[in-house]
Structure 1
Amino acid sequence: MNTLPRSSLPPLFSAIPITLLLLFLPHSLSSPPNDTNALTLFRLEADTHGHLLSNWTGSDACSAAWRGVRCSSSTHSSSRVTALSIPSLNLRGPIDSLSSLDQLRLLDLHDNRLNGTVTPLANCTNLKLLYLAGNDFSGEIPPEISSLRRLLRLDISDNNIRGVIPGEVRGLSRLLTLRLQSNLLSGEVPDLSVSLKNLKELNLTNNELYGHLPDGLLRKFGVRSFVGNEGLCGSSPLAACSLSGTSPPASSSLTVPSNPSSMPETPAIGPGQKHRQKGLSTGAIVAIALANCVALLVVTSFVVAYCCSRERNSSLKANGESTGKRRSGSSHGSEKRVYASGGADSDGTNATDRSKLVFFERKKQFELEDLLRASAEMLGKGSLGTVYKAVLDDGGVVAVKRLKDANPCMRKEFEQYMDVIGKLKHQNVVKLRAYYYAREEKLLVYDYLPNGSLQSLLHGNRGPGRIPLDWTTRISLVLGAARGLAWIHEEYSAAKIPHGNIKSSNILLDKNGVACVSDFGLSLLLNPVHAIARLGGYRAPEQAETKRLSQKADVYGFGVLLLEVLTGRAPSQYPSPTRPRADEEEQAVDLPKWVRSVVKEEWTAEVFDQELLRYKNIEEELVSMLHVGLACAAAQPDKRPLMAEVVKMIEDIRVEQSPLGEDYDESRNSLSPSLATTEDGL
Structure 2
Amino acid sequence: MFLITIPTITKSAMNDEAEALLQIKQSLNNPISLDSWKPGTRPCDDVMRWAGLVCGKGVVTTLRLRSMNLSGNIDMAALAQLQGLRVINLVNNSFSGPIPEFNKLGALKGIYLSMNNFSGEIPSGYFAKTVSLKKIWFDNNNFSGFIPSSLAQLPRLMELHLDKNKFWGLIPSMGQQTLVSLNLSHNNLEGDIPSSLSRFEVDAFKGNRDLCGQKLGKLCGSVIATRHKPTSKPPPESLKMAYMGMVFSGLILVSMIIAIYVLVRMREKEEAQQTYDEKQDFDESFGLGISSDDSPKEDVSTRKSSKRGSPKKTKGVGDLMLLNKSNVGFGLSDLMKSGAEVLGNGSLGSSYKTTLSNGLIVVVKRLKDMNKVDKDGFQAEMNRLGRLEHPNVLAPLACHYQKKEKLAVYEYIPKGSLLYCLHGDRGATHAELNWPARLKIIKGIAIGMSYIHTELAMLSLPHGNLKSSNVLLGPHNEPLVVDYGLNSIIDANHATSVLMGYKAPEAVQNKPVSPKCDVYSLGIIIFEILTGKFPSQYNNKGKGGTDVVQWVKSAMLEQREVALLDPEITESTNSIGEMQKLLHIGATCTENDPNYRLDIKEAVRRIEGIRVE
TM-score norm. by structure 2 comes to 0.46
Larger radius of gyration: 1
